[in-house]
Amino acid sequence: MSLTTAHAEPSIAGVCDYIALMKPRVMSLVVFTAFVGLMVAPGQLHPVIGFAAILCIAVGAGAAGALNMWYDADTDGRMARTAARPIPAGRIAPGEALAFGLTLAVFSVVILGLLVNILAAVLLAATIAFYAIIYTMWLKRRTPQNIVIGGAAGALPPMIGWAAATGGLSLEPIILFLIIFFWTPPHFWALSLYRSEDYAHAGIPMLSVVAGPTETKLQILVYTLILAPLGVLPWIIGYAGPIYGVVAAVAGAAFLALALRLRGEQHGFTACKQLFGFSILYLFVVFAALLVDHMSAVLFGHLAA
Amino acid sequence: MSEQKPDRGIRLTEQQARARRARSIAIAVALGVLVILFYIVTLVKGPAVLVRPL
């Protein structure tokens, strides 16, 4: 990767370009899952400290996104989906993006450590490093298992939220981690099925490019078969209540039905687009249900007392 | 003797100047938020601000 600016002209990058560099849509899911992890953790956390933790996690996620875009600028430029991103479009120079990403990464980790606790800061640093180095620089261009292993980075935010609230970790945040970890492959492989040509053109060995759509659909089904019961696990072990249990079971069954339908689809991309859209809804609904379930238990606990 | 033109340096276009101004304001806002955040957290934590348990 070149560190030099692409042109000697002064930058025309606006604030929106730097926000785009932070992948705001990915960030919103990271913030939401971290927020749920923080809220459902036992104990009391001052709202200001909680806000500081979420802000640092959001900025850390943005840093990881910026570092990813810096390294992937060449492949992004070859894909229709990503060609308009700030670096391939020439609005931000690669060196500026790298400096921006590193600055945000250092600030977010140090401030989380100073204002909240060291464990949360270490987990945030690990998340950024895992996404930028292990996933982006190492796995993404080398193996079709890239998003399976790289998915760990996206699965860590609820654990960071939990660690921020409690200063420790336990089984519950690990289950939340596993839910996102096993959700990631069906989510990205559904996208890659109808963007296969794009990925092939960019030289990224997504499963759909390397093994074909039939194998990818089978793998989506296998991971969904693991995900659906895993989603209900917090209720089974008594960590979440019936509100969560019912929502997670119904959402898991719908996910499974869509994965089965996708497996049966021979032509067209309707089923994979539906599965991709539903996968985002699934994660949001499951985590929202966990939050509602927890808040209602707290409320009823107060009313009963 | 020929008269040398004064070096005027880089002249920003209107778009470049507008973008630079927007970036400067964003950096100022981010720094302001950071200062306020540290101030409020110091008030919230009190003397415990120096305690950093794992």
Instruction: Answer yes or no: is pLDDT of A5 > 50.
Output: no
Closest CA to A103 of A161, A133, A62: A62
* Residue among B38, B45, B54 whose CB faces A118 most closely: B54
Q: Does the distance separating the beta carbons of A11 and B20 come in below 8 Å?
A: yes
Q: In whole angstroms, what is the distance from residue A109 CA to residue A121 CA?
A: 5
Phi and psi at B23, nearest 5°, equal -65, -40
* Binary contact (B16, A49; C-beta < 8 A): no
CA B13-B14-B17 angle, 5° bins: 85
**Dihedral of the alpha carbons of A210, A214, A218, A224, in degrees to the nearest 10:** 90
pLDDT for B2 equals 56
**pLDDT at position B48, please?**
77
Q: Which of A31-40, A114-123, B2-11 has the lowest mean pLDDT?
A: B2-11
Q: Which among A9, A49, A167 is the nearest to B53, CB-wise?
A: A167
| A12: nearest CB among B16, B40, B41 | B16
CA dihedral angle for residue A196, residue A202, residue A203, residue A204, rounded to 10 degrees: -60
Decide: A125 and A153 in contact? Cβ < 8 Å: no
Q: Please say whether the beta carbons of A136 and A75 come within 8 A.
A: no
- How far apart are the CA of B19 and the nearest CA of chain A, in angstroms? 5
**What 3-state class would DSSP assign to B2?**
coil
**pLDDT for the residue A265:** 84
The C-alpha of A24 sits at a distance from chain B's nearest C-alpha, in angstroms, of 16
CA separation for the pair A196, A212 (Å, rounded):
9
Average pLDDT for A238-252? 95
| pLDDT at residue B6 in the model | 72
pLDDT in tens, A145-158: 999 999 999 999 99
Query: Both tokens of residue A288?
Result: 């929202």
What is the number of other CB atoms lying within 10 angstroms of the CB of residue B46? 8
For the cut 70, the answer to whether the pLDDT of residue B54 exceeds it is no
Mapping DSSP to helix (H, G, I), strand (E, B) and coil, where does residue A2 land? coil
pLDDT for the residue numbered A134 = 96
A77-91 pLDDT tens trace: 999 989 999 999 999
User: Which of A13-17, A238-242, B43-47 bottoms out in mean pLDDT, i.e. has the lowest?
Assistant: B43-47
Of the listed ranges A4-8, A60-64, A189-193, A234-238, the least confidently predicted one is A4-8
CB-based contact A11 B16, cutoff 8 Å: yes
- Say which amino acid occupies A78: R
Contacting B with CB below 8 Å, chain A residues are 9-15, 18, 46, 48-49, 52, 55, 111, 113-115, 117-119, 167
Based on its alpha-carbon atoms, the radius of gyration of chain B, rounded to whole angstroms, reads 23
User: How confident is residue A175, by pLDDT bands cut at 50, 70 and 90?
Assistant: very high
* Average pLDDT over all residues of chain A: 93
* Yes or no, beta carbons of B23 and A118 under 8 Å apart: no
Q: Say yes or no to pLDDT of A2 above 70.
A: no
Chain A residues in contact with B38 by the CB 8 A cut-off are 115
Q: Distances from the Cα of A139 to the Cαs of A41, A133, A142, A148, A192, in angstroms?
A: 32, 9, 5, 10, 16
- State pLDDT tens for residues A91-116: 999 999 999 999 999 999 999 999 99
Q: Which residue of A has its CA nearest to B26?
A: A15
Amino acid at A102: L
Exposure string over A229-259, b if 16+ CB within 10 A, otherwise e: ebbbbbbeeebbbebbbebbeebbeebbebb
Give me the pLDDT at residue A6, please. Answer: 47
pTM of the shown model: 0.91
Alpha carbons A286 and A303: distance in angstroms, whole number: 26
Give the least confident one: A22-26, A234-238, B2-6.
Answer: B2-6
pLDDT number for residue A120: 97
